[in-house]
Structure 1
Amino acid sequence: MSVQVTFEPTPNPATMKFHLHRQVTAEGFDCANSQEAERSPLAAKIFGFPWTSSVYVGPDFITVTKQDWVDWELLANPLTGLIQEHLDRDEPVVVEFIEMAEDDENDSPMVRNIKSVLNREIRPVVALDGGDIVFHKYQDQVLYVHMKGACSGCPSSSVTLKEGIETRMRELFPEIKEVVAV
């Protein structure tokens, strides 16, 4: 049974979110170039187009970031068709998934709590706009995170980071002085 692929703009005008309407991976991952797309045959196919800047494969969506010299009005429908055809042929979206280290036995209780809040509260909200946020490190009362997918390079990502994520993390963990994207 074929499920219709749909798309919607994200807060980042260079990035479009394509809903696959089925889970394709447990954890999202970035493909900043064609070499990094080897885990996703679909992302590799999208990188076959010269206007592709990056691809993020989410649990049930893909976000594609384009170069500035081409408009979404020309790309969105044909790209939706390409994705739809890929899924209709039952070609794999992800062939291999190396799970990100969520919890490390060496993590401090603070780091475990931070990761838990990121995974439970923050990531699901960020995923609604086609992005992801991943823990990088906590050092000297500063939380470092990776902004991925539509969040990477988005004009409003600094507002999301400071007014949304940082505010929430500091409410829960007053010892956090700042949240920084790496």
Structure 2
Amino acid sequence: MFIETETTPNPSSLKFLPGRTVMPAGTREFASPEAAEASPLAEAIFNTGEVVNVFFGYDFVTVTAAPGSEWSALKPEVVTILLDHFVSEAPLFVGGSADGIYVPGEELGLMVEDREEDAEIISSIHELLETRVRPAVASDGGDIAYRGFSEGVVYLTLQGACAGCPSSTMTLKQGIESLLKHYVPEVTEVRAA
């Protein structure tokens, strides 16, 4: 088995591609060692002591190094952990279940309650996020979670390599906001949630 790596726009994050499915549906982010206890793989990566975030995508794992950590030392450690995990065919989650599968942002909840009268607008926003935004963000080792729509403002949370990326504000404002405003005229602004 060979694991490829790709850089991401976030210099603290690397995207690891094991050449197989990681998450059959949805994504999963682990932002602390306590959260990582749900996954033996995420927990093992956090146990290096040099990691602040682990993110599972469909066919990749994105790892964000702690400030001051050097990828030259951490990368081989993470590759070894991933190889051991996938070669042994160990379960991704505690209990071997798919308990970790979720809709992006579900664990975060809505920041604002969607109104019934905005259902058509919200449906258009979701369609654009799924078809245009999420694939682009996934290629950078992350994901995006919808957190609500109110009075023209769309609330979104960036995850994985995209969270804390130096260009995340530009991604939200110049990329996603421009796209949503173009196709959904009711959208006036996109805010990070």
Q: TM-score, normalised by structure 2?
A: 0.86
SS in 2 for 1:145: strand
**Residue 26 of structure 2 aligns to which amino acid in structure 1?**
E
CA distance in 1, matches of 2:186, 2:162: 26
**Residue 161 of structure 2 aligns to which amino acid in structure 1?**
A
Determine if the alignment matches structure 1 residue 137 to structure 2 residue 162: no
Determine if the alignment matches structure 1 residue 164 to structure 2 residue 163: no
SS in 1 for 2:37: helix
Deviations 1:32-65 (A, max 9, x none): 1122123322111111121111111111111111
Which consecutive residues of structure 1, in runs of 5 or more, have no partner in the other structure?
none
Q: Which residue of structure 2 aligns with residue 9 of structure 1?
A: 7
Deviates more, 1:149-158 or 1:90-99: 90-99
Give 4+ residue runs of structure 1 displaced > 3 Å after superposition: none
Check the 8 A contact 2:50/2:74 in 1, yes or no: no
Across the aligned residues of Structure 1 and Structure 2, the Cα RMSD in angstroms comes to: 1.6
Q: Which residue of structure 1 aligns with residue 26 of structure 2?
A: 27
Deviations 1:109-157 (A, max 9, x none): 1111111110111100110010101111001100000100000000011
Deviations 1:7-53 (A, max 9, x none): 11111011111112212221112111122123322111111121111
Check the 8 A contact 2:41/2:81 in 1, yes or no: no
CA distance in 2, matches of 1:29, 1:42: 12
- Counterparts of residues 40-51 of structure 1 (less than 5 Å): 40-51=39-50
Q: Which residue of structure 1 aligns with residue 63 of structure 2?
A: 64
Report the alpha carbon displacement of residue 98 of structure 1 after superposing the two structures with TM.
4.2
**Residue 157 of structure 1 aligns to which amino acid in structure 2?**
S
Q: Which residue of structure 2 aligns with residue 97 of structure 1?
A: 100
Deviations 1:144-176 (A, max 9, x none): 001000000000111111111111111101221
Which consecutive residues of structure 2, in runs of 5 or more, have no partner in the other structure?
107-113
CA distance in 2, matches of 1:58, 1:24: 6
Q: TM-score, normalised by structure 1?
A: 0.91
